[in-house]
Chain A
Amino acid sequence: MSDFQNDNQDHQKHAEMHDSPLVIGGVLFRHRLLMGSGRYESLEVMRAALAASEADAVTVAVRRERLSDGGGRNVLDFLNVEQLRIIPNTAGCYDMATAVRCAKMGREILKAFGCSVVDLVKLEVLGDSRTLLPDPIETLNATEQLVKIGFKVLCYCSDDPILARRLYQAGAAAVMPAGSPIGSGGGLSNPNHLRIIIDDLKSQMAECPVIVDAGIRTPSDVALAMEIGADAVLLNSAVAKAGNPVRMAEAMSLAVRAGRKAFLAVPMQKSRFASASSPEFGVITRKHVPSSGE
């Protein structure tokens, strides 16, 4: 019994020892869950959900200041900038030029606010307003531009393995294929493509983090993404639009950890047939049991 426990603990230590932390563009992250900050019913709920998620990275949008009421309450006042990496996004941009402008202005705000890390950007260049699917060509072009001017680009993209490779080659700090369309809750619509992307970007000379972004609905979506080897998951609506966002944030956090541990533990081989868990000898009958293999 105690031997078993020791083995188990050794195994856990082993697994944890061999899990290096998530690093994106030289920036270290303590958790493999990245959270969005949009669509919450209030900034207070957002703050509570972020705390429950234990994430240390949060995405934000760059938007025109409201001039009528002095800007009102600012999301920055609800983010612990000492502990959180703030990643401005280029959401709502439909062309390279606008996305680059947006990224630059986001960086400027982080500088003005005194953030220690200011050059991370979640690049999102969309091609269609109904599906919010990314425009792959504009995304690639914008990645090249942003890398040139010193950004660490986290590229939101479709789950196309060739595009993912091209983004990596263009200098993306992380490639972030969508599980399914933004805010759809469709889960991972093509796990096989995600597997190919992960396999491809981990087998090259340098390693590029692959983050599953968008489409997540439940912790099982998150766990699956992590089990197949994603480096992290980025989600927003799944928590913000849950009946209880704070509880869901905690569930997502656990799912990330569970999925990551499962990946490191290496799941058992699958078989079409059964393999008894109990000893096959010493059963209290001698009756012949039929088998489909005979």
Chain B
Amino acid sequence: MELSQTNTLTVTINDIPQEIIEGCTLSQLIEQHGLNPRQIAVERNMEIVPPDDFSTTVLGPGDALEIVTLMGGG
């Protein structure tokens, strides 16, 4: 296995599967996607993760993340 040195695991973000490196935190994932942490809200397995916990939240295999923002609406 080529990936054996850096183990990966799969999470879903907004229902889309994504492979991430083991130990990856929510902060790192948010940064990777170029998102502004001040303009989003994150649910991990249906539970809201407060922004203060982004950097200490280590993602696990099968985690389902929901990342939302605000858009124009009525």
Contacts and interface: CB of A to CB of B under 8 A. Distances in A.
Q: Chain A: interface secondary structure?
A: mixed
B51 A105 contact: no
A36 interface: yes
Interface residues of A, number: 42
B21 interface: no
Given A76-B39, A108-B41, A109-B40, A61 B70 contact: yes
Interface stretch (A12-20, A37-45, A190-198): A37-45
B40 A88 contact: no
B74 A40 contact: no
Nearest to B46: A101
A39 to B, nearest CB: 7
B48 A60 contact: no
A71 interface: yes
Interface string A29-64: 000000011111001001000000000000111111
A274 interface: no
A101 B43 contact: yes
B31 to A, nearest CB: 10
B73 A89 contact: yes
Interface size class, chain B:
20 to 34
Of A65, A75, A112, most B-chain CB atoms within 10 Å? A65
Given A67-B16, A104-B48, A112-B38, A62 B74 contact: no
Contacts, number: 121
Contacts of A203: none
Given A67-B13, A101-B46, A75 B41 contact: no
Contact of B43 (A37, A76, A105, A106): A105
Interface string B34-74: 11111111110010101100000000000000111111111
B13 to A, nearest CB: 6
B67 A65 contact: yes
Interface string A59-100: 111111101011100111000000000101101000000000
A21 interface: no
B64 to A, nearest CB: 13
Given A40-B72, A105-B48, A74 B36 contact: yes
B33 to A, nearest CB: 5
A99 to B, nearest CB: 14
